Structure 1
């Protein structure tokens, strides 16, 4: 069972989300909050699996709430559900530690998929949002000031010089042939290096690789 807390200052929105979620056999809404400070109190009291939070709320906004949860309640997953797809909100949410970002205009199927993905420990970002993240993380253009200072994690990945070169080229969206040509190696060698890099970082796709590279300051 996935235990969810809803945080949104609009009662009608919360009622709609609650009805949708509780129609699912494996999801239950255990509490609600109408502002940021109340959300943190509810989280401390109930320790849910997932917090679904709006950005624009009184007392404390959703991004600040996500940052606080990321500091003090690391087991609680956070899914930002917002009507805003602006680059500023998206980047700040990711910097604060959000596990997912979904627009309120998303379909029922995508919403439920996002809740399940986030609850299982994966990341989920809707299509338009993924484009913003990719653009900022790959090009190193994340210049917006984060709402809260996020502690940078470090892990002993021990990447070789060649793996770092491969990483940079992969994040520039270059394919194996392009990488081989640039590094003057065979395409097969490029494929092997890329496979070893993905395995070492424990990622399955480009989005996960991009997120981890930025999170651990590998680029």
Structure 2
């Protein structure tokens, strides 16, 4: 089995140790090295060529956004997962525009973090609930303008049959309305983890890789829109 090689980049040793402890239990993931700032991360990427770089934002000497910019310049195909405490729109949009393929908050559960790693390794994008909410609201506020057009895959041809459960239709309608996973969980009386699992299944069924693509797909495909109306 080929393992997913990870380069951890965070200036806090305790954070890196915690992530390593989590990933040590995963047979298909291996932390091959660590870096404490963006400059170290770039140097070690050149040497080791990891599959994914897990990157913090606020670090000394060079922050994660600057490092992401330079890494994408060196190799446009490099896979970077931002792991940060910041849920501010400015940080999120900057990271995505600079080429990060994922953005997960540090208070996310272990399952979500692992899901993000596997999704990105398989060529997809992954944004945790609060982050997706920022991206969706940005897209909605621009009313169909080409927000992140270079980063978002154009919708595929509409499927002849879209098999969504009643609960998935309900959650999809909330996502389209711009609600976060936490807000949706409160609306339907379920846990945030349950909502995240449903969102993941919905995106898999509709063959999209982010909440922004999901909203765009609904807005551009009448069949999906009609599904939500009839839910």
TM-score (norm 2): 0.63
Residue segments in structure 2 that go unaligned for 5+ positions in a row: 156-175, 178-206, 218-231
How many residues end up aligned between the 2 structures? 165
SS in structure 1 at match of 2:33? strand
Equivalent residue number for residue 6 of structure 1: 8
Matches within 5 A, 1:148-163: none
| Partner Cα distance (2:212, 2:137) in 1 | 11
Equivalent residue number for residue 125 of structure 1: 127
Matches within 5 A, 1:21-170: 21-140=23-142
Q: Is the 8 A contact 2:136 2:211 kept in 1?
A: no
Deviations 1:161-204 (A, max 9, x none): xxxxxxxxxxxx59xxxxxxxxxxxxxxxxxxxxxxxxxxx847
| Partner Cα distance (1:51, 1:211) in 2 | 28
Matches within 5 A, 1:181-196: none
Deviations 1:8-47 (A, max 9, x none): 0011110110111121000001111011101100111111
Equivalent residue number for residue 16 of structure 1: 18
Aligned alpha-carbon RMSD (Å): 3.1
Shift of 1:69: 1.7
Deviations 1:53-73 (A, max 9, x none): 000001111011111222212
| Partner Cα distance (1:23, 1:49) in 2 | 18
Shift of 1:207: 2.8
Shift of 1:209: 5.6
Equivalent residue number for residue 212 of structure 2: 207
Shift of 1:138: 2.9
Greater than 6 Å deviation, 4+ residue runs: none
| Partner Cα distance (2:5, 2:78) in 1 | 10
Shift of 1:132: 0.2
| Partner Cα distance (1:42, 1:22) in 2 | 20
SS in structure 1 at match of 2:94? helix
| Partner Cα distance (1:211, 1:92) in 2 | 20
Q: Is the 8 A contact 1:21 1:29 kept in 2?
A: yes
| Partner Cα distance (2:33, 2:59) in 1 | 17
Q: Is the 8 A contact 1:49 1:75 kept in 2?
A: no
